[in-house]
Structure 1
């Protein structure tokens, strides 16, 4: 008898009876009914549980928060786009700062080595986030290619507080993915991490080892003091 058949025979002859599939609920996860404050709290709790950092700030002062993050993390070379408002505002605010702004609208073959070896951080906008899983969702463009969020050791993402959705299904439905599904959407739920057979987590092995989310609040908001 082969090893495979011997294993199957032992499973079939279990003393406590044959194995049966557990009951499963495949209902679409939606209609959570959370308030904006609840969504923010859930998002921050889940992304924080995997070493993601969250900074709350009034939207009018978010570039000050960005400058603070860059100083705290010792960032000297920051990769970012040009056209998106987040990138444009960051470039204007950091024009006189001691940070080199690295253009990303180049063919990857022209600056692949530079990106992997000498860029300290990448800055991106986000399209929104998912409260249920603590995930950001990005829709990369030529102005903000996906590699600036996947390669540098630090990813800084700018999120508007009012773009949080309850669940992934709510994102798909609310943004009409059935009619125009993005070809390159990214779901980011923390820094890059992997584990060995003993379940020991290591961060930054296959991508950024740090993730900082700057959450912008419209006007005065109690959420800023979180």
Structure 2
């Protein structure tokens, strides 16, 4: 009998029953108790500290903010999905703009070189963000594959202000990752960066050199006005 099989046999034949997992105290990674305003302020501070750019916009006019960002960045070819509401709204808003909208729902082998050499920016939705670390979290889909956030020189991400949560643990627990985590869950905390042996930090070497987060805010209620 192999050593592995012998160990497993001893575990199965334990006289005092099967082993149970010890109770865990997760208090250290949750229960921050921040308000929505505090979460947003922390998120913006952390992501700006690593050269991420945050643009605030009302939910109703976010595509106008998107158009301004793209114009300011000189974007002429934008990669984006078709089915997600963010992509669909962007396509309608940019239909008459002097910009080519690049379809991404293709086999990567058919347009790999085009994506790496000719696309100026990629637009994606987000599932939410983490205040504690200043991180976006995305679940790529065939409509919004992960490469449009990882390859183009500029990544424009659309974030709803009310989807921020305190910690990564809160995200995992609230959204049931244990029961249905995708094969690719992306945590993005700024543009691509790397450092050489002399610790000189460089941006955009292995991915986007710029990250722009469009934070969409709901319309103010009469009480808030």
Fold equivalence (TM over 0.5): yes
Q: When the two structures are superposed, what TM-score results if normalisation uses the length of structure 2?
A: 0.86
Alignment of 1:188-203 (within 5 A): 188-203=188-203
Q: Which residue of 2 aligns with 1:176?
A: 176
Aligned Cα RMSD in Å?
1.3
Equivalent pair of 1:58/1:220 in contact (CA under 8 Å): no
> How far did residue 88 of structure 1 move?
0.2
Q: Which residue of 2 aligns with 1:108?
A: 108
Q: When the two structures are superposed, what TM-score results if normalisation uses the length of structure 1?
A: 0.85
> How far did residue 178 of structure 1 move?
1.1
Q: Which residue of 1 aligns with 2:51?
A: 51
**In structure 2, what is the Cα distance between the partners aligned to 1:69 and 1:99?**
13
**In structure 2, what is the Cα distance between the partners aligned to 1:99 and 1:158?**
19
> How far did residue 220 of structure 1 move?
2.8
Figure out how many residues of one structure are paired with residues of the other and give that number: 197
Q: Which residue of 1 aligns with 2:30?
A: 30
Structure 2: 5+ residue stretches without partners:
1-24
Q: Which residue of 2 aligns with 1:88?
A: 88
Q: Deviations over 1:29-81 (max 9, x none)?
A: 10000000000000000000000000000000000000000000000000000
> How far did residue 182 of structure 1 move?
1.7
2:112 counterpart of 1:122 = no
Q: Which residue of 2 aligns with 1:215?
A: 215
**Bigger mean CA offset, 179-188 vs 77-86:** 179-188
Q: Which structure 1 residue ranges, 4+ long, deviate > 6 Å from structure 2?
A: none
> How far did residue 141 of structure 1 move?
0.2
Q: Which residue of 2 aligns with 1:167?
A: 167
> How far did residue 26 of structure 1 move?
8.1
**In structure 2, what is the Cα distance between the partners aligned to 1:177 and 1:189?**
20
